[in-house]
């Protein structure tokens, strides 16, 4: 069973790696992924292993609470406000500490009572008190850092704790020397390093929390679509209740301009409904009795009464939000590189820091200089940027996809999609509308009158071809005539009497048996046959009167989507169970050269495997139950959101709009996201690779500058912020980027 847990107490990639390692050792755990960016763990676990897992996480120094799916806004404001308060408080003590310690070096005035020359003890004591207060404000770094260190799994907090404690401890030693009369020791105080480092790291954490909060904006916007209250009819009275209190079977009263709080079916009234948040279609959809409406959409111009069928997280909108949240919590394969490095990074850094300090001391440097090297290496090497590089970009990318109705169900799909070389489209319902429509009409006399006569005869039929004819009559606002003696001739067509005229609507076999010739329509029938359309022959009182063509029409955006994919060098393939001629006609309109016709559902998977055997990465786009195995077999399965639930469950990506131009958009978003991740990883690795040698004094060894620990702390904090800022650039991804 798959479970999700919110993990507290993590501060860096080493923490998330530690949680994964601890949980992965538990018997009954099949897989575990920890996302540092949203502080969530996804685990495949046997129910009996849950208690041991929670106990192991607690022993490792972290908290775990099962994640709850709620249709309420993800709000990080309390967390941000808390860390901001700590930052402001720390700054209030760190700024005077910095002034007191550094002021005399640049001839800034100090009160006589704390002047380092005339009152060195007071000068040192004031700094110690100010530094101690800042360390108390940042006490979490020490409680978590030392706890992790003593458990043998040091993390970023351990680096900060050891570095600042060493700095504070050496400064206290210098204070004792001052008290004992060693005036020179006043120049070996490092209290300001402790206070300023803690404050700068709190600044970085505040900026990081604000940036991480922005990664959830897509989910928050979706959640805000659901109103907080709903008006229901109970016992004939209108009452307003919290949306969370709705139950299935409630009758909602929806006034014009109100958001719909739950999924349901219209039982009274008619109105236009804006469903753009689900379908991407800007035009309102007319709703009347028997039609379905969805949570988050807006009732525009009429009163509706709706019987609730789904509430909360079970609504279509709730499923979208859950899908996005789960995807944001998964890892892309590219993240494994950072995970492996992070697991070893912190202990290696601690060894390097102490080794560098020891070598400088052995070479004759002072204890103060060696301490400065130790603190600089420990602080600048914190791997925050490394741990945030991948999950933040994935979160923003998946959230941005949701805005376009493109739901990535996992990070792996996000990474794989831009590598696809062949895209296989199912025909019916994917490239085409999936329902027959009357496309051509040939008549001896008035076409409108003949359509009215045929539609009147077809009124009692349930056949899909009859529905296409009736739809055309409705579109032309024709008033139908009552018919009688309706007969359905299975496999042939129908007959009925309309206005005392015998109307026959059927195929060639039906007309041949009746001896009715359609020689004057030969050219039309030949043309329809070449186009792969189904001809419907019409006779009135034993005479040929017209021919209609029924076909599954191509979607308006199919040809455009195919052209965009082919422009990227991607091979486009179409699968269909239709005959070769019909398949070729549709493929020609869509601009597809390679087709597989008369394909049985079981053969679709074999075709996907055949293309994969050629060494190509394959994506499958489909909407039906019979597409589910092929969707699961493909490297990336893409389901049309208007299709079946089974198809959507089998797919890795769901296109809620049913718009095929979303396929190239999804591929472009995948490409931009992975490029962003690679940029983040490069800068995170480059930062640490360059920063550690400089902090260790390599440049100083050859006459260059020495990195001050405070500069190292600022650089460390800003590195995390830069990675987050780069990830947030993905929020600028727009339709103008589609190619």
Element (H, E) at 323: helix 316-328
What pLDDT, on a 0 to 100 scale, did the predictor assign at position 528? 85
What pLDDT, on a 0 to 100 scale, did the predictor assign at position 208? 67
pLDDT bracket for residue 135 (50, 70, 90)? very high
Q: Give 641 or 251, the one with higher predicted confidence.
A: 251
pLDDT (tens digit, 9 = 90+) per residue, 99-121? 998 777 777 888 889 888 888 99
The neighbouring-strand residues paired with 151 are none
* φ and ψ at residue 75, rounded to 5 degrees: -125, 115
Average pLDDT, the chain: 83
2-68 and 405-432+555-660 have identical folds: no
pLDDT (tens digit, 9 = 90+) per residue, 359-371? 999 998 888 888 8
What pLDDT, on a 0 to 100 scale, did the predictor assign at position 717? 66
Note the CATH number of domain 2-68.
3.30.70.100
695-732 burial code (b ≥16 CB/10 A, e <16): bbbeebeeeeeebebbbbbbbbbbbbbbbbebbbebbe
Q: Give 507 or 153, the one with higher predicted confidence.
A: 507
Contact 156, 719 (CB under 8 A): no
Catalytic residue among 263, 274, 426, 623: 426
The neighbouring-strand residues paired with 29 are 45
Question: How would DSSP label each residue in 331-365?
Answer: --TTHHHHHHHHHHHHHHHHHHHHHHHHHHHHTT-
Architecture in CATH of 441-553: 3-Layer(aba) Sandwich (3.40)
What pLDDT, on a 0 to 100 scale, did the predictor assign at position 173? 87
Contacts of 138 (CB under 8 A, 6+ apart): 86, 90, 198, 201, 202
Q: What is the rounded average pLDDT of the residues 565-582?
A: 87
Is pLDDT at 541 greater than 80 in this prediction? yes
pLDDT (tens digit, 9 = 90+) per residue, 206-230? 876 776 666 566 566 677 788 889 9
Q: What is the rounded average pLDDT of the residues 724-735?
A: 77
What pLDDT, on a 0 to 100 scale, did the predictor assign at position 126? 94
321 vs 68: CA distance, rounded Å: 12
Beta-carbon neighbour count of residue 108 at 10 Å? 10
Is pLDDT at 687 greater than 80 in this prediction? no
Note the CATH number of domain 227-310.
2.70.150.10
What pLDDT, on a 0 to 100 scale, did the predictor assign at position 617? 92
pLDDT (tens digit, 9 = 90+) per residue, 412-454? 888 889 899 999 998 877 888 877 788 888 998 888 999 999 9
Element (H, E) at 383: none
pLDDT bracket for residue 280 (50, 70, 90)? very low
At which residue do the structure tokens 């770094």 appear?
A: 141
pLDDT (tens digit, 9 = 90+) per residue, 162-205? 888 888 888 898 899 899 988 888 887 888 878 888 888 788 77
Is pLDDT at 737 greater than 50 in this prediction? no
At which residue do the structure tokens 């008369």 appear?
A: 598
Specify the CATH superfamily of domain 405-432+555-660.
HAD superfamily/HAD-like (3.40.50.1000)
Is pLDDT at 658 greater than 80 in this prediction? no
Q: Give 150 or 566, the one with higher predicted confidence.
A: 566
What pLDDT, on a 0 to 100 scale, did the predictor assign at position 276? 65
Question: Residue 78 CA to chain centroid, in angstroms?
Answer: 24
What pLDDT, on a 0 to 100 scale, did the predictor assign at position 121? 92
Contact 20, 14 (CB under 8 A): no
pLDDT bracket for residue 603 (50, 70, 90)? confident
Contact 34, 16 (CB under 8 A): yes
Beta-carbon neighbour count of residue 105 at 10 Å? 9
Enumerate the domain spans of the chain: 2-68, 70-214, 227-310, 314-404+661-739, 405-432+555-660, 441-553
pTM strictly above 0.95: no
Contact 706, 694 (CB under 8 A): no
pLDDT bracket for residue 735 (50, 70, 90)? very low
Q: What is the rounded average pLDDT of the residues 493-511?
A: 90
Contact 586, 530 (CB under 8 A): no
Please say whether the dihedral angle defined by the alpha carbons of residues 72, 75, 79 and 82, taken in this order, is positive or negative: negative
601 vs 604: CA distance, rounded Å: 6
What pLDDT, on a 0 to 100 scale, did the predictor assign at position 300? 85
Contact 192, 710 (CB under 8 A): yes
pLDDT (tens digit, 9 = 90+) per residue, 379-421? 776 656 666 677 778 878 888 888 888 888 877 888 889 899 9
Give percent of the chain above pLDDT 90.
24
426 is a catalytic site residue: yes
């Amino acid at each position: 069973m798959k479970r999700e847990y919110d993990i507290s107490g993590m501060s860096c990639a080493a923490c998330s790696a530690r949680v994964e390692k601890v949980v992965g050792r538990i018997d009954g755990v099949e897989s575990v992924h920890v996302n540092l960016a949203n502080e969530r763990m996804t685990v495949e676990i046997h129910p009996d292993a849950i208690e041991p897992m929670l106990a192991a996480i607690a022993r490792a120094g972290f908290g775990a609470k099962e994640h709850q799916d709620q249709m309420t806004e993800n709000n990080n404001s309390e967390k941000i406000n808390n860390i901001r308060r700590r930052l402001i408080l720390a700054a209030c003590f760190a700024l005077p500490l910095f002034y007191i310690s550094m002021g005399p070096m640049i001839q800034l005035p100090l009160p006589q009572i704390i002047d380092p020359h005339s009152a060195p003890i007071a000068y040192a004591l004031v700094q110690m008190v100010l530094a101690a207060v800042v360390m108390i404000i940042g006490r979490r770094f020490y409680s978590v850092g030392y706890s992790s260190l003593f458990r043998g799994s040091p993390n970023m907090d351990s680096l900060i704790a050891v570095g600042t404690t060493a700095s504070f401890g050496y400064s206290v030693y210098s204070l004792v020397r001052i008290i004992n009369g060693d005036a020179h020791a006043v120049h070996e105080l490092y209290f300001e390093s402790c206070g300023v480092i803690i404050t700068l790291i709190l600044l970085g954490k505040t900026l990081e929390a604000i940036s991480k909060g922005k990664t959830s904006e897509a989910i928050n916007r979706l959640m805000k679509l659901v109103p907080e209250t709903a008006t229901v009819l109970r016992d004939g009275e209108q009452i307003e209740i919290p949306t969370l209190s709705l139950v299935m079977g409630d009758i909602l009263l929806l006034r014009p301009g109100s958001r719909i709080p739950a999924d349901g079916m219209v039982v009274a009234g008619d109105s236009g409904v804006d469903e753009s948040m689900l379908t991407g279609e800007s035009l309102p959809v007319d709703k009347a009795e028997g039609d379905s409406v969805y949570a988050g959409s807006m009732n525009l111009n009429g009163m509706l009464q709706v019987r609730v069928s789904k509430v909360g997280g079970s609504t279509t909108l709730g499923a979208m939000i859950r899908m996005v949240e789960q995807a944001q919590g998964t890892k892309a394969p590219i993240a494994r590189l950072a995970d492996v490095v992070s697991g070893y990074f912190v202990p290696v850094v601690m060894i390097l820091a102490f080794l560098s300090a020891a070598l400088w001391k052995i070479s004759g440097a002072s204890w103060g200089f060696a301490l400065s090297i130790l603190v600089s290496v420990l602080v600048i090497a914190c791997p925050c940027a490394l741990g945030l590089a991948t999950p933040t970009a994935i979160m923003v990318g998946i959230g941005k996809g949701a805005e376009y109705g493109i739901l990535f169900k996992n990070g792996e799909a996000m990474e794989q999609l831009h590598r696809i070389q062949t895209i296989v489209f199912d025909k019916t319902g994917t490239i085409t509308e999936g329902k027959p429509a009357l496309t051509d009409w040939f008549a001896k006399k008035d076409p409108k009158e003949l359509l009215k006569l045929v539609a009147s005869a077809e009124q009692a039929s349930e056949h899909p071809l009859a529905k296409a004819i009736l739809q055309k009559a409705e579109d032309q606002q024709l008033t139908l005539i009552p018919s009688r003696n309706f007969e359905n001739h299975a496999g042939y067509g129908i007959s009925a009497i309309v206005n005392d005229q015998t109307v026959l609507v059927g195929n060639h076999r039906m007309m041949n048996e009746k001896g009715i010739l359609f020689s004057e329509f030969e050219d039309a029938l030949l043309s329809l046959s070449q186009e792969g359309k189904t001809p419907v022959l019409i006779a009135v009182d034993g005479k040929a009167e017209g021919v209609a063509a029924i076909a599954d029409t191509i979607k308006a955006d199919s040809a455009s989507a195919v052209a965009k994919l082919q422009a990227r060098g991607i091979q486009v393939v179409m699968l269909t169970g239709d005959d070769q001629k019909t398949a070729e006609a549709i493929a020609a309109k869509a601009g597809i050269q390679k087709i597989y016709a008369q394909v049985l559902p079981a053969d679709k998977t074999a075709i996907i495997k055949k293309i994969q055997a050629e060494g190509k990465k394959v994506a499958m786009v489909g909407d039906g139950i019979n597409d589910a195995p092929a969707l699961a077999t493909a490297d990336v399965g893409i389901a049309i959101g208007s299709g079946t639930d089974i198809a959507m469950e089998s797919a890795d990506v769901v296109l809620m709009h049913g718009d095929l131009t979303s396929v190239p958009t999804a591929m472009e978003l995948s490409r931009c996201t992975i490029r962003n991740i690679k940029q983040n990883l490069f800068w995170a690795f480059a930062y640490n690779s360059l920063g550690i040698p400089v902090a260790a004094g390599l440049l100083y060894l050859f006459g260059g500058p020495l990195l001050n620990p405070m500069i190292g702390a600022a650089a460390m904090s800003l590195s995390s912020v830069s990675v987050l800022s780069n990830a947030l650039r993905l929020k600028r991804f727009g339709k103008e980027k589609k190619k």
